[in-house]
Amino acid sequence: MLNAGSPQPFAVGTSDSYTIHGFYWRHAESADTRPVVIINPATSVRCRYYFRFANFLFQNGFDVVAYDYRGIGESRPSMLRNFDACWLDWGALDFEAVLLHTASSFADQPIHVVAHSIGGFVLGLAPSNHLVQRIFTMGAQYAYRGDYAAHKKLRLIAKWHVAMPLLTLLFGYFPGKKLGWLEDTPGGVVRDWIFSRARFEDTWRGRASARYADKRVLVDQFSEVTAPILAVSMTDDEFGTVPAVERLLNYFSSSARSHLRISPESISEAAIGHFDFFNSRLEQKLWHIPLDWLKFGKVSTAWPGHLIAPASERL
């Protein structure tokens, strides 16, 4: 068996000839019944951030694949200034390439996905997303500012919709690493974020719009996903509010969807927010939830938090 903490690098070309880099954890013994889990990162979060979680899944019987979107981390180009990349590329090209590579490299094994934040959105854009058999998301949404937590909305807009685009104009990319906010981020991704609308298909303009002219195709692609989804969100997540998570879930019209809402207080934590779910300090308190879901596909009443009823049932 591969030693934990020893991921192996891989590279895969996309349909537009960009190279995506990532890592995999693979057991020595072949088993077509063993699921392989692809980890889709949050916006401008390096795949290395998820390594401890990936090791956890590996130690519990899964093969695992982690990767960086174009422009980020291992998949960053030599020159990021004016590098043309957007959220749509991350899904329709990058995740698609990794998904097909995984299906080929781990032939006949079930494919599951763990998606953090925008990772849940890009999953819906991949033409081969029907290959996925089970999905776990954490705080998954597409950063529509109308869904930001009300008590933090002004601060978030000032940070992400004023400071971020101004710095992007100055540098030709967002220098998030210097600020300790995010990884350095392509300008096209910044554009998608600041102009995000209630319906994502109304958002894209400019170069991205030319590459994805038929927005209806993008929307329809989400309905190709038939895998059941467990969406987890935190009550102190300023991005992953109930409206934000439900807004994205509604696009997955062919999937059985469950939304589990958890408060930090319910597990004796002061804060979790948008990022800390994948911090190893929460391994004993929270990681059993995705583990159980990915293994058995069932929601447990023993989990912390409560299920959010679909909007149609809340009327």
CATH number of domain containing 270: 3.40.50.1820
Q: What is the pLDDT of residue 315?
A: 37
Measured CA angle at 154 (ends 83, 163), to 5 deg: 30
pLDDT of 295 over the 60 cut: yes
Let me know if residue 153 belongs to a domain. Answer: no
The percent of residues in the chain predicted with pLDDT above 70, rounded, is 95
pLDDT tier at 314 (50, 70, 90 boundaries)?
Answer: very low
Return the structure tokens found at 193: 């974020």
CA 312 distance to own-chain centroid = 26
Please, which residues have CB within 8 angstroms of residue 279's CB and are 6 or more apart in sequence? none
pLDDT digits (tens, 9 = 90+) for 235-253: 999 999 999 999 999 999 9
Measured CA angle at 189 (ends 186, 191), to 5 deg: 110
Name the pTM for this structure: 0.95
Are 305 and 261 spatial neighbours (Cβ–Cβ below 8 Å)? yes
pLDDT of 205 over the 80 cut: no
Let me know if residue 155 belongs to a domain. Answer: no
Q: What is the pLDDT of residue 214?
A: 85
Let me know if residue 258 belongs to a domain. Answer: yes
Let me know if residue 284 belongs to a domain. Answer: yes
Let me know if residue 3 belongs to a domain. Answer: no
Let me know if residue 89 belongs to a domain. Answer: yes
Q: What is the pLDDT of residue 210?
A: 74
DSSP 203: T
Are 239 and 272 spatial neighbours (Cβ–Cβ below 8 Å)? no
The rounded distance, in Å, linking the Cα atoms of 289 and 314 is 25
DSSP 41: P
Let me know if residue 170 belongs to a domain. Answer: no
Domain count, the chain: 1
Let me know if residue 238 belongs to a domain. Answer: yes
- The mean per-residue pLDDT over the stretch 131-157 comes to 97
Strand order in the sheet with 111-116: 8-13, 19-25, 63-67, 36-40, 111-116, 132-138, 229-234, 257-262, 306-307
pLDDT tier at 268 (50, 70, 90 boundaries)?
Answer: very high
H helices of 151-271, in order, are 153-156, 164-171, 176-179, 187-194, 206-211, 215-222, 242-249
pLDDT of 211 over the 90 cut: no
Q: Could you tell me the residue range of the domain that residue 124 belongs to? A: 8-143+203-313
Work out whether strand 173-174 and strand 185-186 pair parallel, antiparallel, or are unpaired. antiparallel
- The mean per-residue pLDDT over the stretch 106-112 comes to 97
